[in-house]
Amino acid sequence: MGYAEVYQRWQEDPEGFWMEAAEAIDWVKKPSKALFDENAPLYQWFADGELNTCWNAVDRHVAAGRGDQVAIIHDSPITGRQARITFAELKEKVARLAGALARQGVGKGDRVVIYMPMVPEAAIAMLACTRIGAIHSVVFGGFAANELATRIDDAAPKAVIAGSCGIEPGRIVPYKPLLDQAIEMAARKPEFCVILQRPEQEADLIPGRDFEWEAFQEGAEPADCVPVRGDHPCYILYTSGTTGQPKGVVRPTAGHAVALNWSMKNIYGVDPGEVYWAASDVGWVVGHSYIVYGPLIHGNTTVLFEGKPVGTPDAGTFWRVIAEHDVKVLFTAPTAFRAIKREDPTGEFVRKYDLSGLRALFLAGERADPDTVEWAKAQLGVPVIDHWWQTETGWAIAANPLGIELLPVPVGSPGVPMPGYDVRILDEGGKELSAGELGAIAIRLPLPPGTLSTLWNADQRYVEKYLSTFPGFYETGDAGYRDEEGYLYIMARTDDVINVAGHRLSTGQMEEVLASHPDVAECAVIGVADELKGQVPVGFLCLNAGSGREPAEVVAECVQLVRERIGPVAFFKQAVVVERLPKTRSGKILRGTMAAIADGRQWKMPATIDDPAILDEIEAALATLGYPRGNGAAG
């Protein structure tokens, strides 16, 4: 059956389609039906079924006689370590940690924040939570204490599980002091912490609050899998919104298991037992869906890679991992390939390794620029598949479904809608646009299984942020168009989210931080096209009258402030002091025009601009940073 037929089958009978997909999941109690729409526009899938995610990801493979198959390969060029964990070993480790958590009072519905580097214990902690029905919320290690505190306050976790440190090229990042600061700042303190001591840097523990990973589990009874309802949250994952308050995406258990399992074969084209590698981080949605849950639920071996595409030790690391572990499918962000291409444009490292086992490369997280896609295709000789999705959806909205049929998707397009997604391009009034016309991309409700059901403790905010602009639709926040053949093109965000090295960041949040600097009267942050990272943030600062400060000093303090408050991942390194910001007559800052000037793109003088002369000042200020750089290709 080809893609068109599969998509049509879903269109004709969406519930039947997903009930059939649900058969591949082990249920304690089968759901009576697929869709629960009583609370529309909030929807649930398989709500009255009962199941356990950890059972589906781990135990069932052991029960089926695959206990000796490797579940997780930890490949850590940054520490020089490797480990292989079979499904049977994984079950034992997860059950023991789950037992220890339960002994300490963590149960169904309790939240657990996980703040860990790319070590197997991160996946073990996630699975241990789902085993006992606790709801985990993983926080990416590149976020600062303040961001961790915001998430702790929103999720109100009973416990935090953390690593003592992360390791970045050339430096150790001590996580524990960040955790201590975050707990200090948070209003809702966790009862206890479990700390994995890494040999690179052990952490000081606070007696009575902190437990060492091994000691915590000593003598604990292994816990069994606790059945939960289909609509029970499997996890909360915070993502950037338009303000400093991150949005807690809630992922219900049943839809998550069903959709991810379906996607492994149909989208990625892998069979159980094969090695699948998503080179991302467990702190991002790609890590949740395709390092941990998707591959494990489907019975694949997953690779947990602790390193960078370049510099650990060289631009051949990815190829070594593929050759050494017989990786069949690789998934990463285009920025990783841009980094490799920059260091090894002729592919010398590529040819050092036997990559004959690799069947496809999938890219997502940001726009895949045609240069990078063509380079990857030429070097690897396998299909390079761009696919489009977001934290909220948890799996691909649009892709080229390799496991169903490899479509002739033009370079520049992430393909066609996956079953479950009725994608529409709408104008500002919600009217559907024709082929080739650029508009807001929306998805007709209900969203499919595996997507978010709401925001944590914030149904109203979910409705306001996502479901209100176009009634009956979910607003993706992306703008784009569909061509005559039905292929989608994702062009830009309609909000202030920017994408830096595949990391989703909010310029609004950075502005909030800058505005808190005592000498800053007003500010704006824009995303500027960058050859390597896709986009990088650039700040504009107006200082308080009579502040008398050296602009360079304030800029340096602001750069440091964003690093301290949001984290190094924000990559806020450039700012300029200007007299005024360009605004419309109603006072709206013209960020889009500023970004166009920085990128050297064509732009039109906005009709509503208050004082056009300000744009000359902006142009001059950007010139001091070297913009435009004529490298907008990636953006």
Distance separating alpha carbons of residues 241 and 186, to the nearest angstrom: 20
Select from ligand COA, ligand AMP, none the partner in contact with residue 504, using the beta carbon and a kind-dependent cut-off of 5 to 8 Å: ligand AMP
Q: Is 367 in the site for ligand AMP (CB under 6 A)?
A: yes
Instruction: From residue 59, give the alpha-carbon distance in Å to each of 62, 210, 289, 293.
Output: 5, 29, 18, 13
Distance separating alpha carbons of residues 533 and 80, to the nearest angstrom: 27
Q: Is 339 in the site for ligand COA (CB under 6 A)?
A: yes
Select from ligand AMP, ligand COA, none the partner in contact with residue 477, using the beta carbon and a kind-dependent cut-off of 5 to 8 Å: ligand AMP
Q: Which residue carries 């089968």 as its tokens? A: 30
Strands 81-86 and 111-115, bridge-based pairing = unpaired
Q: Is 173 in the site for ligand COA (CB under 6 A)?
A: yes
Distance separating alpha carbons of residues 219 and 214, to the nearest angstrom: 10
Select from ligand COA, ligand AMP, none the partner in contact with residue 493, using the beta carbon and a kind-dependent cut-off of 5 to 8 Å: ligand AMP
Select from ligand COA, ligand AMP, none the partner in contact with residue 571, using the beta carbon and a kind-dependent cut-off of 5 to 8 Å: ligand COA
Residues 256-295, one symbol each (x = binds ligand AMP by CB under 6 A, - = not), give: -----------------------------x----------
Residues 513/561, Cβ–Cβ less than 8 Å: yes
Q: Which stretch binds ligand COA (CB under 6 A): 102-110, 226-234, 242-250, 333-341?
A: 333-341
Q: Is 447 in the site for ligand COA (CB under 6 A)?
A: no
Of 26 and 168, nearer to ligand COA (C-beta) is: 168
Select from ligand COA, ligand AMP, none the partner in contact with residue 30, using the beta carbon and a kind-dependent cut-off of 5 to 8 Å: none
Of 180 and 386, nearer to ligand AMP (C-beta) is: 386
**Binder among 91, 96, 338, 504 for ligand AMP (CB under 6 A):** 504
Strands 81-86 and 70-76, bridge-based pairing = antiparallel
Q: Is 268 in the site for ligand COA (CB under 6 A)?
A: no
Q: Cis (ω within 30 of 0) for the bond into 177?
A: no
Q: Is 365 in the site for ligand COA (CB under 6 A)?
A: yes
Q: Is 477 in the site for ligand AMP (CB under 6 A)?
A: yes
Select from ligand AMP, ligand COA, none the partner in contact with residue 414, using the beta carbon and a kind-dependent cut-off of 5 to 8 Å: ligand AMP
Select from ligand COA, ligand AMP, none the partner in contact with residue 489, using the beta carbon and a kind-dependent cut-off of 5 to 8 Å: none
Question: Which of 284, 248, 244, 286 shows the shortest CA–CA distance to 496?
Answer: 244
Q: Is 89 in the site for ligand AMP (CB under 6 A)?
A: no
Tokens standing for 495? 């909000």
Q: Is 390 in the site for ligand AMP (CB under 6 A)?
A: yes
Q: Is 239 in the site for ligand AMP (CB under 6 A)?
A: yes
Select from ligand AMP, ligand COA, none the partner in contact with residue 569, using the beta carbon and a kind-dependent cut-off of 5 to 8 Å: ligand COA
Q: Where are the beta strands (DSSP E) in 533-579?
A: 534-543, 574-577
Question: Which of 506, 540, 502 shows the shortest CA–CA distance to 524?
Answer: 540
Q: What does the buried/exposed string (b/e) look like for 320-355 if buried means 16 or more CB atoms within 10 Å of the residue's CB?
A: bbbbebebbbbbbbbbbbbbbbeebeebebbeebeb
Distance separating alpha carbons of residues 276 and 480, to the nearest angstrom: 30
Residues 113/136, Cβ–Cβ less than 8 Å: yes
Indicate the burial class of 461 (C-beta count within 10 angstroms; 0-12, 13-18, 19 or more): middle
For 141, phi and psi rounded to 5 degrees? -65, -20
Q: Which residue carries 């190829």 as its tokens? A: 319
CB of 215 to ligand COA, least distance (A): 25
Amino acid (1-letter code) at residue 382? V
Q: Is 393 in the site for ligand COA (CB under 6 A)?
A: no
Residues 459-488, one symbol each (x = binds ligand COA by CB under 6 A, - = not), give: ------------------------------
Q: Which stretch binds ligand AMP (CB under 6 A): 162-170, 364-372, 546-554, 573-581?
A: 364-372
Q: Which stretch binds ligand AMP (CB under 6 A): 5-13, 262-270, 366-374, 554-562?
A: 366-374
Looking from the CA of 533 toward its CB, the CA atoms found within 13 Å total: 17
Interhelix angle 334-343/370-380, nearest 10 degrees = 70
Q: Is 319 in the site for ligand COA (CB under 6 A)?
A: no
CB of 633 to ligand COA, least distance (A): 16
Q: Which stretch binds ligand AMP (CB under 6 A): 349-357, 382-390, 578-586, 627-635?
A: 382-390
Select from ligand COA, ligand AMP, none the partner in contact with residue 76, using the beta carbon and a kind-dependent cut-off of 5 to 8 Å: none
**Binder among 22, 128, 135, 364 for ligand AMP (CB under 6 A):** 364
Q: Is 493 in the site for ligand AMP (CB under 6 A)?
A: yes
The three-point CA angle 454-228-236 to 5° equals 35
Q: Which 562-581 positions form the footprint of ligand COA (CB under 6 A)?
A: 568-569, 571
Residues 258/164, Cβ–Cβ less than 8 Å: no
**Binder among 501, 528, 576, 577 for ligand COA (CB under 6 A):** 501
Of 78 and 442, nearer to ligand COA (C-beta) is: 78
Select from ligand COA, ligand AMP, none the partner in contact with residue 308, using the beta carbon and a kind-dependent cut-off of 5 to 8 Å: ligand COA
Residues 265/318, Cβ–Cβ less than 8 Å: no
Annotate 46-62 with DSSP letters as a single string: STT-EE-HHIIIIIHHI
Interhelix angle 591-599/613-624, nearest 10 degrees = 50
* Positions in the binding site for ligand COA (CB under 6 A): 141-142, 166, 168, 173, 280-281, 284, 286, 308-309, 332-333, 335-336, 339, 364-365, 501-503, 568-569, 571
* Positions in the binding site for ligand AMP (CB under 6 A): 239, 285, 364-368, 386-391, 414, 476-478, 490, 493, 499, 504
